[in-house]
């Protein structure tokens, strides 16, 4: 218990460090640089700088705050085993029998991906069947929907509930550092011999430039992930569908992938307000390698055929937001020869499982 308390306290050290750096940068820029400008002709420029600075500062702090204090979304109770199934699962010693219990419990759930060995994804720690793209975070000790990674700099898990906030945090921190470095550069040169302002001005420039360079690569990487509709975990381990691993299984095209994270209304995209589409448990997919066993358009309301693991997946209606995502091209693929299905690029609801 004492060890866990110490770990929780130490986990806030990176956040406190960032908060102190940001607080010092505010003091250095507003007080030491703008208010203590020695030349009167710089006052007007300082006022303009202060207005832009505070806009970027507020958006940066707001998005950072939301990333830290937005609780990670966890699976709903429908993914938990019933008391009877849980007792039976714990009594069984053979993995085959345990998997049969899980298949029976998951037959009405929107689960279309499996482990690499085609088994139902189950979390023994949380005692629930994992939805697609859900993973257990050892730091938070919970299963997180569409988990991307656990970030020590925000002391939180980045997933479905706060991924948009995390992206905005990176973007506004980049703009904040870029603006500070660009506007301080001239004073960095001008104040070189000013002993009073030397430390704050010089150090502010170096810190802003250093953070800008380090954050730029991370932000670029996550922009690429959004365009591909992948999480960091899925980049290193592709989700496994009925046809096997498919790193592009959840990609709907760059535009729709972007809307899945930021929502339909562009006026809210730059605000740290939750607008992501879906429920975090259920995702429309694009099959790169089409499966000839997929249901045809005429059998859309019929149960899907069993997978290699003898699990049937009943078709589940898409949510309203997912229907908007698939808009004009959400037709089911006609069954036919495998060669024709490989060439087909139609969007449809996948009927497979994830690792």
CB distance 294 to 262 below 8 Å: no
The beta-strand segments (E) located in 205-311 are 240-241, 244-245
Phi, psi of 129 (to 5 degrees): -80, 130
Buried-state track 206-243, b at ≥16 Cβ within 10 A, e below 16: ebbbebbeebeeebeebeebbebbbbebbeeebbbbbb
Long-range interactions of 278-281: CB distance < 8 A, separation 24+? 278/160, 278/319, 278/321, 278/322, 279/319, 280/73, 280/131, 280/134, 280/145, 280/146, 280/159, 280/160, 280/161, 281/75, 281/76, 281/79, 281/110, 281/131, 281/132, 281/134, 281/145
Q: Catalytic annotation on 137?
A: no
Phi, psi of 237 (to 5 degrees): -140, 105
CB distance 164 to 171 below 8 Å: no
Choose, from 134, 137, 143, 151, the residue flagged as catalytic: 151
Q: By CB neighbour count within 10 A (0-12 exposed, 13-18 middle, 19+ buried), where does 339 fall?
A: exposed
Residues forming the active site: 151
């Amino acid at each position: 218990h004492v060890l866990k308390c110490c770990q929780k306290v130490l986990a806030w050290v990176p956040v406190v460090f960032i908060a102190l750096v940001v607080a010092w940068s505010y003091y250095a820029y507003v007080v030491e640089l703008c208010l203590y400008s020695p030349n009167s002709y710089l006052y007007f420029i300082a006022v303009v700088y202060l207005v832009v600075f505070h806009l970027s500062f507020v958006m940066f702090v707001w998005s950072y705050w939301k990333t830290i204090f937005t609780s990670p979304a966890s699976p709903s109770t429908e993914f938990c085993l019933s008391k009877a199934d849980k007792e039976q699962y714990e009594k069984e010693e053979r993995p085959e029998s345990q998997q049969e219990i899980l298949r029976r419990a998951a037959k009405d759930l929107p689960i279309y991906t499996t482990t690499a060995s085609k088994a139902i994804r189950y979390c023994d720690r949380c005692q629930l069947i994992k939805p697609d793209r859900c993973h257990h975070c050892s730091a938070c000790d919970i299963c997180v929907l569409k988990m991307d990674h656990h970030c020590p700099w925000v002391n939180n898990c980045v997933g479905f509930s706060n991924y948009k906030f995390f992206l905005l945090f990176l973007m506004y921190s980049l703009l904040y550092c870029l603006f500070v470095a660009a506007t301080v550069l001239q004073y960095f040169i001008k104040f070189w011999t000013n002993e009073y302002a030397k430390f704050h001005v010089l150090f502010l420039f170096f810190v802003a430039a250093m953070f800008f360079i380090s954050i730029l690569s991370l932000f670029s990487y996550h922009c690429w992930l959004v365009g591909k509709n992948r999480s960091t975990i899925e980049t290193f381990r592709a989700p496994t569908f009925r046809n096997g691993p498919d790193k592009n299984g959840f990609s709907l095209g760059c535009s729709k992938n972007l809307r899945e994270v930021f929502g339909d209304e562009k006026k809210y995209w730059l605000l740290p307000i939750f607008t992501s589409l879906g429920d975090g448990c259920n995702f429309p997919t694009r099959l790169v390698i089409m499966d000839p066993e997929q249901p045809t358009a005429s059998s859309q309301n019929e149960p899907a055929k069993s997978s290699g693991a003898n699990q049937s997946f009943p078709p589940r209606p898409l949510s309203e937001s997912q229907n908007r995502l698939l808009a004009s091209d959400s037709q089911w693929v006609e069954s036919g020869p495998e060669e024709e299905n490989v060439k087909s690029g139609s969007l449809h609801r996948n009927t497979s499982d994830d690792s």
